[in-house]
Structure 1
Amino acid sequence: MPVSDEDQAYVRALVIHEDSAVLAFNKPSGLAVQTRNVEDRTLDRLMAAFARSNGKRPRLVHRLDAQTSGVIVAAKTQPAAAALSQAFAERLVSKTYLALVTGSSFPNVETEFSMALSRHIARPGLELMRASRPGDQKSQSAVTRWRVLASNGHAHLLAVEPLTGRMHQIRVHLSLEGRPILGDPYYGGAGTLKGEPVPRLMLHAASLEIPHPTAGGHIVINAPPPADFVDVVRAAGLEMPADLALHAR
């Protein structure tokens, strides 16, 4: 399907990194990566804006939930796609997200949360994740690490690292911990803040470290939080840290 001039400008404005093998975007909340509806505007279909003269286009090598914003990477060549897909499969990448949760005081220590997850049909057409139960098919181990970046006693901005890559992992693990992400209706997150609607899921993929498929070594791609994320953080009475230092280890 051809990409309109408007869509070309739109997707090119999302680019935050480009080299001979890798193309990275700061995806906004609400833009799906893929859907079954051929009429939907998705990031995958917008890859046609970067097609070469032979028709080949970049290939996305991982996914983000539609309502999650942040960094997502495509490979510009087939060898790069194979190398990056293998890196994700073998967990050779490091991902750090920002999440805003509410509730009582949050321990200001790094926490590693481990709980196996299973898919289940919440209602026709809606598949979610839950803590695995006896008899669940295809239970998957899942581990998530988080630490507090900013807190005021009732709102908490977290840096979150999924050490495994399960569907909705961060969302369900924080919910199981009793700290659902603000704006997450599927896992118990509040839909309002101080009486005002929360316009989005407050989860942002802020940083991704990957092995470069051709140059060797690792590259870190950072995606600044968008205005709609920062505005809700400020409405919660917090400020974004000046230096997130997401990859400090």
Structure 2
Amino acid sequence: MSGPASNTDSGEVRQFTVGEDDDGVRLDRWFKRHLPQVGFGTVSRWARTGQLRVDGKRAKVDDRLAQGQVLRVPPGGEDTARTQRGRRELTPEEESLADDILITRTKAALVINKPPGLATQGGTKTNRHVDGLLDAYAGEDEPRPRLVHRLDKDTSGILLVARTPGSAAFFSKRFSGRSAKKIYWALVVGVPDIHEGEIEAPLAKQPGTGGEKMHVDHENGQPAKTVYRVVERAGNAAAWVELQPLTGRTHQLRVHMAAMGHPIVGDGKYGGQDAFLTGSVSRKMHLHARRLIIEAPGGGKLDVTADLPEHFAQSMEQLGFDLSLSEAEPVLTPPPERSKAEKKQAAKAHAKQYRKARRGERKRRAQPGGKKRSGPGAKGPR
């Protein structure tokens, strides 16, 4: 058998056959995957005393396993505290939500359409999140699905979840290696002068924000690149933009669009009051992970799209955008590699544009009483 024994308290020696997902994994990592109730200290003791065997030979905790090998595990060794930390019982509402947001299920992955306002993982004062729903997708004898990438709380759209430890490692490598293609849709305030191109502006944590906010930092920032294309415009008030991040920095798309002087509609964190349109357009974030194309374990590709959330779809309709315009070119093509001189000139231009936008924001704040605006955009971010 390749999974954990059905009865670990029987007092009998257990044998496991290493499966495809565990090919190349360290022995101690195998225990974390399949027998998490057995602590590392116990595994080390078993290895030292020769009780752990792989194909009949003594094994070390850092040995690499190969598919088809037979692992001999002695009885017992369970940490009571670990054993008691079982799967959480979900409420009927959580079960229903998990079912509603599921787009597709394959042998290796689950793909969900994350609603805006639902965090990907828990944290301080965050008890409702995607990670807390994952028990709904696992069968009784299946491993718990695991996250391999994230979306901001207020960003909606495609989130891929791995169904096995092996597929988690596979997909994680594709995301970290940037071979996965992620296409986002956004509504931005105003219309970029250049309708298609690449934003190259390094990002760093903004001092004084406790790491909660990022900013463009050409001296100390981490490289960050985004390919963008204006799909359609609503006069001079707003534009529908496709975005493809070529790097994966925190808040990258939000900071890059704000640095261009065209913040994402509803993103008060980076756009201030300017991020809210007047009229009846929703004040929620208008950033959606629309499409994901990624290699699948065993060959082929996983290519999925996610429908817009209600507020985003209503805004698109109100502004008169034609959704079919995006489908002709669903995957953006990065522009040709630029020379060092061109990159330096582009970086200076982005820095100048960013400083100009910041000066305008400080000037408005300095005015007595601030600049009054009517309609839904009259107030700052909630």
Structure number with the higher strand fraction is 1
Name structure 1 gaps, 5 residues minimum. none
Out of 239, 243, 246, the position equivalent to 1:160 is 243
The residue type equivalent to 1:111 in the other structure is: G
Structure 2 distance, partners of 1:39, 1:95, is 26
Where do residues 191-206 of structure 1 align in structure 2 (5 Å cutoff)? 192-196=276-280, 198-206=282-290
In the other structure, the counterpart of 1:120 is 206
In the other structure, the counterpart of 2:296 is 212
Where do residues 11-50 of structure 1 align in structure 2 (5 Å cutoff)? 11-37=98-124, 40-50=127-137
The residue type equivalent to 1:56 in the other structure is: P
In the other structure, the counterpart of 2:197 is 111
Of 149-158 and 195-204, the range deviating more from structure 2:
195-204
Contact 1:100 1:202 in 2 (8 A): yes
**2:324 match: secondary structure:** coil
Contact 1:113 1:143 in 2 (8 A): yes
Determine if the alignment matches structure 1 residue 176 to structure 2 residue 259: yes
**2:167 match: secondary structure:** helix
The residue type equivalent to 1:140 in the other structure is: Q
Structure number with the higher helix fraction is 2
Structure 2 distance, partners of 1:156, 1:34, is 31
Structure 2 distance, partners of 1:117, 1:149, is 26
Out of 310, 320, 327, the position equivalent to 1:238 is 320
Contact 1:51 1:58 in 2 (8 A): yes
Label 1:107 to 1:217 Cα distance change in 2 as closer, same or farther (>3 A).
Answer: farther
Contact 1:101 1:181 in 2 (8 A): yes
> Once the two structures are superposed, what CA deviation does each residue of 1:112-155 show, in whole Å capped at 9, x if it has no partner?
1101111124535x611111154x4xx31000011111112221
Label 1:198 to 1:121 Cα distance change in 2 as closer, same or farther (>3 A).
Answer: farther
In the other structure, the counterpart of 1:94 is 181
Contact 1:68 1:205 in 2 (8 A): yes
Equivalent pairs: percent with the same residue? 35
In the other structure, the counterpart of 2:15 is none
TM-superposed deviation, 1:234: 2.7
Contact 1:28 1:70 in 2 (8 A): yes
Contact 1:122 1:128 in 2 (8 A): no
Label 1:163 to 1:39 Cα distance change in 2 as closer, same or farther (>3 A).
Answer: closer
Residues matched between the structures, number: 242
Label 1:191 to 1:248 Cα distance change in 2 as closer, same or farther (>3 A).
Answer: closer
In the other structure, the counterpart of 2:17 is none
Structure 2 distance, partners of 1:199, 1:35, is 24
Name structure 2 gaps, 5 residues minimum. 1-87, 334-382
TM-score by length of 2: 0.60
Label 1:186 to 1:67 Cα distance change in 2 as closer, same or farther (>3 A).
Answer: same
TM-score by length of 1: 0.90
Over the aligned positions, Cα root-mean-square deviation in angstroms equals: 2.0
TM-superposed deviation, 1:55: 6.2
Of structures 1 and 2, the one with the larger relative CO (CA 8 A, separation 6+) is 1
> Once the two structures are superposed, what CA deviation does each residue of 1:30-68 show, in whole Å capped at 9, x if it has no partner?
000012147611001100111221462111110000000
